[in-house]
């Protein structure tokens, strides 16, 4: 793919080009405003993981998220690292409150929790928001390991740090089928989805599903609205 050609075509279409690099990319072109999110539950990774170590140094603005669930020590570690490698970056601190659609499907029930795959595998988190929500609603979380098949079982062997959650793996049609088979084999009353997308759109799940979602809640005087307004004024849009 010729990314310069993609850029030139995009320049013809809009006044602003928005690049979303996900969790594994940095921009293929130099942005006029670069916003990087740092996760205090993984404090230190911003210096040692690729390409996060690039993104934290390039950032004009760093959002330190999850300050409602992280400790003061974890948040402060990111602030200290940022002061060392990119002291000019503006800092926004934000909570990440999570909510669930149809909580009555989860509360007090036997559930299986499906979490975002990259977060709980090579992201090194044992669990995510789905598990936290299930515990908040006093659900009984069923350990999926005894029911895992094929490549899903191999994931547990490769990532022994995983908690009693099911990583959403869908890197091939076969793996998606095995994920579906694993979910349907678990004797749960409902499925808690802590995934960015609703897996019910791609899999035939034989149980009710409850989708956990996030909201960004800025804490302090600096907000994303302020950052973007300043940027648009600077570039005279």
Average pLDDT, the chain: 93
88 and 138 share a domain? no
Residues 73 and 141 in one domain: no
Can you spell out the DSSP letters for 79-143? HHHHHHH-TTSEEEEEE--EEESSGGGTTTSEEEEEEEHHHHTTT--S--HHHHHHHHTT-EEPP
Structure tokens at 210: 């409850």
**Residue at token pair 């995510």:** 128
Q: Do 210 and 221 share a domain, yes or no?
A: no
Q: What is the pLDDT of residue 175?
A: 94
Q: Which two tokens stand for residue 41?
A: 């539950």
Give the range of the structural domain holding residue 12, as residue numbers without chain letter.
Answer: 3-96+216-234
Same domain, 126 and 206: yes
The pLDDT of residue 21 is 78
Query: What's the confidence (pLDDT) of residue 170?
Result: 87
Size (the chain), residues: 237
Q: Give the model's pLDDT for residue 214.
A: 85
pLDDT at residue number 151: 95
Element (H, E) at 214: strand 209-214
* Contacts for 219 with CB less than 8 Å, ≥ 6 apart: 67, 93, 94, 95
Same domain, 119 and 198: yes
Same-domain pairing of 107 and 209: yes
User: Are 23 and 55 members of one domain?
Assistant: yes
User: Both 35 and 119 in a single domain?
Assistant: no
Angle subtended at Cα 29 by Cα 27 and Cα 82, rounded to the nearest 5 degrees: 50
> How many CB atoms sit inside 10 A of residue 171's CB?
9
Characterise 163 by phi-psi region: left (phi > 0), alpha (psi -120 to 50), beta (else): beta
Higher pLDDT, 26 or 202: 202
For the cut 80, the answer to whether the pLDDT of residue 237 exceeds it is no
Handedness of CA 86, 87, 92, 93 (dihedral sign): positive
Same domain, 184 and 172: yes
Number of domains in the chain: 2
Looking at the DSSP bridge assignments, the partners of residue 191 are: 112, 209
Predicted confidence (pLDDT) at residue 187 exceeds the cutoff of 80: yes
pLDDT recorded at residue 134: 97
User: What is the per-residue pLDDT for 23?
Assistant: 61
pLDDT bin (cut points 50, 70, 90) of residue 137 is: very high
pLDDT tens digit string along 11-61? 999 888 998 876 668 888 889 999 999 999 999 999 998 888 999 999 999
Instruction: Please tell me the predicted confidence (pLDDT) of residue 101.
Output: 83
* pLDDT value of residue 24: 67
Residue carrying the six token digits 């002061």? 83
| Block residue for tokens 């084999």 | 185
Report residue 96 as tokens: 């990440």
Per-residue pLDDT for 93 more than 70?
Answer: yes
Cβ atoms of residues 228 and 136 within 8 Å: no
- 159 and 172, same domain (yes or no): yes
Rounded (5°) CA angle 98-38-29: 115
pLDDT at 158 over 90: yes
Q: What is the mean pLDDT of residues 128-137?
A: 95
**23 and 128 assigned to the same domain:** no
Give the C-alpha separation, 146 to 114, whole Å.
15
State the helix-helix crossing angle for 173-185 and 150-158, rounded to 10 degrees: 90
Residues 125 and 192 in one domain: yes
């Amino acid at each position: 793919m010729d990314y310069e050609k993609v850029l030139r075509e995009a320049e013809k279409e809009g006044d602003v080009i928005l690049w979303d690099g996900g969790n594994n990319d940095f921009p293929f072109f130099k942005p006029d405003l670069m916003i990087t999110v740092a996760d205090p539950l993984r404090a230190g990774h911003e210096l040692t993981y690729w390409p996060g170590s690039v993104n934290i140094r390039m950032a004009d603005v760093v959002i330190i998220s999850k300050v409602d669930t992280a400790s003061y020590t974890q948040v402060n570690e990111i602030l200290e690292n940022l002061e060392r490698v990119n002291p000019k970056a503006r800092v926004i601190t934000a909570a990440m409150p999570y909510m669930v659609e149809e909580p009555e499907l989860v509360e007090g029930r036997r559930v299986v929790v499906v979490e975002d795959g990259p977060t709980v595998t090579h992201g090194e988190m044992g669990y995510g928001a789905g598990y936290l929500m299930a515990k908040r609603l006093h659900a009984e979380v069923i350990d999926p390991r005894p029911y895992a098949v094929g490549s899903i079982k191999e994931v547990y062997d490769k990532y022994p740090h995983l908690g009693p959650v099911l990583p959403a793996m869908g890197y091939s049609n076969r793996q998606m089928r095995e994920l579906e088979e694993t979910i349907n084999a678990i004797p749960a009353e409902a499925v808690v989805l802590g995934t960015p997308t609703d897996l019910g759109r791609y899999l035939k799940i034989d149980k009710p599903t409850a989708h956990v979602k996030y909201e960004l809640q800025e804490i302090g005087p600096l907000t994303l609205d302020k950052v973007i307004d300043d940027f648009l004024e600077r570039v005279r849009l």
